């Protein structure tokens, strides 16, 4: 999935605004501070936009200050997990909602690969449990994820 120049600009503005708002509010990150928060916010926002575009669902790019509940990224229940690493895995945290769908996106602006998806219950069941820099987590290899075409077909049905 390749974003257009206008789409990249929009996503980058949202990601930048999220980071600035977090800094201004001295917001505590729900999973600990990422190594490069600017990169995570901007690239992550673009990855969310790519999933929204692929699924034909609204991007929930609203900036939230209260992260006591995980906000939805796309549609009504889709969470996007981005990594710049092509061989990356999907991460689900214990506090994530079991009913949400988690999509793994790899790549960098403007080119993203939507690697697959899994629901929270199955991800927590099959994921390898451990501790990452942001806390307890379940890691799901891309090869264990469901095909994106099935998700797209399910949404359009």
Stated pTM of the model = 0.89
What would the two tokens of residue 118 be? 């899994």
CB distance 61 to 46 below 8 Å: no
Digit-coded pLDDT (tens) for 6-46 = 999 999 999 999 888 888 877 666 555 555 888 888 999 99
Q: Which one is predicted more confidently, 28 or 83?
A: 83
User: What pLDDT sits at residue 66?
Assistant: 53
Determine the angle formed by the axes of helices 37-55 and 5-25, rounding to 10 degrees: 130
Residue with tokens 């490069």: 36
Total structural domains within the chain: 1
Phi-psi region of 109 (alpha: psi -120 to 50; beta: other; left: phi over 0): beta
Measured in degrees and rounded to the nearest 5, phi and psi for residue 68 equal -65, -25
For the cut 90, the answer to whether the pLDDT of residue 55 exceeds it is yes
What is the domain range of residue 143?
5-156
Q: Please write the tens of the pLDDT for every residue from 135-153.
A: 789 999 999 999 999 888 8
Q: Which pLDDT tens digit goes with each residue over 84-122?
A: 999 999 999 999 999 999 999 999 999 999 999 999 999
DSSP string, 143-156: GGSBPHHHHHHHHH
């Amino acid at each position: 999935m390749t974003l257009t120049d206008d789409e990249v600009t929009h996503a980058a503005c949202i990601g930048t605004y999220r980071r600035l708002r977090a800094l201004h509010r001295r917001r505590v990150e729900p999973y600990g501070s990422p190594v490069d928060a600017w990169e995570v916010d901007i690239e992550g926002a673009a990855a969310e936009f790519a999933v929204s575009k692929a699924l034909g669902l609204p991007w929930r790019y609203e900036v939230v200050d209260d992260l006591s509940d995980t906000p939805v990224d796309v549609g009504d229940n889709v969470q996007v997990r981005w990594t710049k690493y092509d061989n990356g895995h999907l991460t689900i945290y214990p506090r994530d909602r079991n009913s949400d769908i988690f999509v793994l996106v790899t790549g960098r602006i403007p080119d993203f690969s939507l690697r697959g998806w899994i629901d929270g219950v199955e991800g927590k069941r099959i994921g390898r449990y451990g501790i990452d820099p942001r806390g307890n987590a379940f890691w799901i290899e891309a090869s264990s994820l469901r095909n994106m075409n099935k998700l797209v077909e399910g949404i359009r049905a």
